[in-house]
Amino acid sequence: MDKPIMAKATAVWLVDNTTISFKQIADFCGLHELEVQGIADGDVAAGVKGFDPVANNQLTQEEIDKAEADPLHKLKLKFNAAAVGEEKRRGPRYTPLSKRQDRPNSILWLVKFHPELTDGQIAKLVGTTKPTIQSIRERTHWNISNMQPIDPVALGLCKQSELDAAVQKAAAKKAAEGAAMTDDERRKLLSTEQSLEMETEPRMPSSIAGLETFSLSGNDDDEKEAPLPDADSFFNLPGGDDDEDE
């Protein structure tokens, strides 16, 4: 948290109660310098009541004095130990009241189609609690008989990019643990060493050249070339000579 709360109201107070330059106020409050000038001219933030950063533990008087004495000095927020880690607070996502009745259906969808997701990931995606997820996993939820699996993205409970990121993270974790596949899936795959030791699969010939040299019977001794018959032998048919009959 590097900007004061109620930045515009803080800028109004600094303009009215200090001689700090517009540039310094703009940098401190996260505003544009012309916007701060508009506040001083009364064109911007009209009717906004100034918010005292000193009284609200956001700025020290010493810091203000340094900024007034040196136009190049940049104001710094007062360190507040109670605010450390405030931005990193994590918890269940807020779900609007109109969509809360759809959360069990979305949880059922996630449990059914993405069993690799942990309860914590599902809770973060749709804003629910781990006991609720567990009851749906075990089908002990009080309304399980009336529930239908519905995509949480379609319900607007999470974004598609968030769901994809969670699924990829869960898959990567299971892969690192060696549990990315079921036993049946593992049986279908071979290791590299096993695949290299396997015999080469027979292949169909790419052409029929040379196939005519093989005997259909499989015995080379039976395959001999028969002599071509003489053409005259076809005319010397049995039955005698036509001249003798005459």
Does residue 183 sit within a domain?
no
For the chain, what percentages of helix, strand and coil (3-state, to nearest 5) are there? 50, 0, 50
**pLDDT at 13 exceeding the cut of 90:** yes
Does residue 136 sit within a domain?
yes
Which among 60, 83, 106 is the end of a domain?
83
Which residues are CB-contacts of 108 (< 8 A; sequence separation ≥ 6)? 136, 147, 148, 149, 150
Q: How confident is the model over 160-196, as pLDDT tens digits?
A: 888 888 988 888 887 787 654 454 444 433 444 444 4
**Average of pLDDT values for 14-31?**
91
Band (94; pLDDT cuts 50, 70, 90): low
Does residue 159 sit within a domain?
yes
Pair 101, 75 in one domain: no
Q: What pLDDT shows up at residue 185?
A: 40
Pair 75, 29 in one domain: yes
Task: Give me the domain span that covers residue 105.
Answer: 97-176
CA 226 vs. chain centroid, Å, equals: 75
Interatomic CA distance for residues 54 and 75, integer angstroms:
12
Domain count along the chain: 2
Range from 18-27, 51-60, 81-90 carrying the lowest mean pLDDT: 81-90
Interatomic CA distance for residues 225 and 149, integer angstroms:
77
pTM, two decimal places: 0.38
Does residue 68 sit within a domain?
yes
Pair 76, 20 in one domain: yes
Which among 83, 109, 130 is the end of a domain?
83
Pair 33, 76 in one domain: yes
